[in-house]
Structure 1
Amino acid sequence: MTERTDLIETLARHRGFLLQTAEGLSEEQARTASTVSALTIGSLLKHVADTEEQWMGFAVHGAQAFEGGGVYESDVDWDAVAAEGESNDGDWSDSEWVDDRFTLSDAETLDVLRARLLEVAAATEAILAEADLDVSHPLPSAPWFEQGVSWSVRRVGLHLIAEIAQHAGHADIIREAIDGQKTMG
């Protein structure tokens, strides 16, 4: 196996865990926040697809892939958001910045969310199959990134593995609280 194959297969494995967690759910269950968190299995499917697509855009095009909305909007005053979070023990809920990455529209059904995740996965696999894994781009400005740091395509792939695995675990806990089903245990 090559490093490239390892990245692609590991991403697929963790995406598979997340998708498996959603199997057999009703639309209502997919939108149920069954723990103290506001997260739902549907919102995690959306977030993982959006995040993977955006990070792979970064891997190919750099920070400009984050322009035009979302958590990396250029008009957000990140110094003010960071200061609010620091003054509230890391709680940004009262910030003027609203995190809507987990908000589902009525049109975002389980079938739509699954199809989107698989579409994004195919694009990621195509990029990773051909890209120079050593090409790097400076990270966008945000309080959670060290200033002046660049990430390679390889590093983006590793980040996505961690991101997807973490959210697959979140989904598994949510699913167990809904109906007792477990994907990973």
Structure 2
Amino acid sequence: MSTPTPTTNEREALIETLDRHRGFLLLPATGLTEEQARTASTVSKLTTASLLKHVADTEEQWMDFAVRGADAFGGSDVYDGVDWSAVDDAAAENQGDWSGSEWEDTRFVVPDDMTLDQLRARVLEVGEKTASLLRTGDLDRTHPLPEAPWFEPGAAWSLRRVALHMLAEIAQHAGHADMIREAIDGKKSMG
């Protein structure tokens, strides 16, 4: 991870901050074996490898949304091809617990033939594409969000808002990756 340089440009500040937090996500994956990268070392099913895949897939899809709108998720009435009204009904019956639904977020499923090096490279590649879009795209252009239980009905997000969402997503999963790594071999990224 390089030393950040001061920025005065909003676009570069977004890129720099995303890159910094992407680095925090990648740091706990450094020095892991393939087996360790796929180890669910906590009560969660999450692994270092699954987090890297999820973040890359999620960032790629959200940046596609910033360009194409809800079609990036399968249309305005679905999110990732799922009729969320059925999933939301199942969650309502179980006091907010979605585990009773049939939906599985396949962005956390890592193919057997995908290596840790490939996952790390993909995270960086997607980040480069995001940086390119943030340098040239209209930060204020908005698209209506697809229908999903966690989106406010009728809300629309701009490229800027998508970048902020991805910053939160990456930072959250960097924390997860740090805990998973510490549970594997005691190493910590910080603290």
Q: Give TM-score scaled by structure 2 length.
A: 0.92
Partner of 1:12: 19
Matched, 1:87 2:131: no
The secondary structure found in structure 1 opposite 2:99 is coil
Give CA-to-partner distance per residue, 1:85-129, whole Å, 9 cap, x none.
121122212212222221111122101101111110110000000
Write the distance in 1 (CA, Å) between the matches of 2:105 and 2:44. 14
Write the distance in 2 (CA, Å) between the matches of 1:26 and 1:98. 27
Code of the aligned partner of 1:12: D
**Unpaired segments ≥5 residues, structure 2:** 1-7
Q: Once structures 1 and 2 are overlaid, which stretch shifts more, 58-67 or 119-128? A: 58-67
The aligned runs of 1:27-176 (5 Å cut-off) are: 27-67=34-74, 72-74=79-81, 76-176=82-182
Code of the aligned partner of 2:101: S
Write the distance in 2 (CA, Å) between the matches of 1:133 and 1:99. 28
Q: Give TM-score scaled by structure 1 length.
A: 0.94
Cα deviation, residue 151, structure 1: 0.3
Extract structure 1 runs of 4+ deviating beyond 3 A.
none
The secondary structure found in structure 1 opposite 2:143 is strand
Give CA-to-partner distance per residue, 1:138-167, whole Å, 9 cap, x none.
001111111110001100010000000000
Write the distance in 2 (CA, Å) between the matches of 1:104 and 1:163. 19
Aligned residue pair count = 182
Calculate the aligned-residue CA RMSD, in Å.
1.3
Cα deviation, residue 77, structure 1: 2.6
**Unpaired segments ≥5 residues, structure 1:** none
Write the distance in 1 (CA, Å) between the matches of 2:80 and 2:164. 24
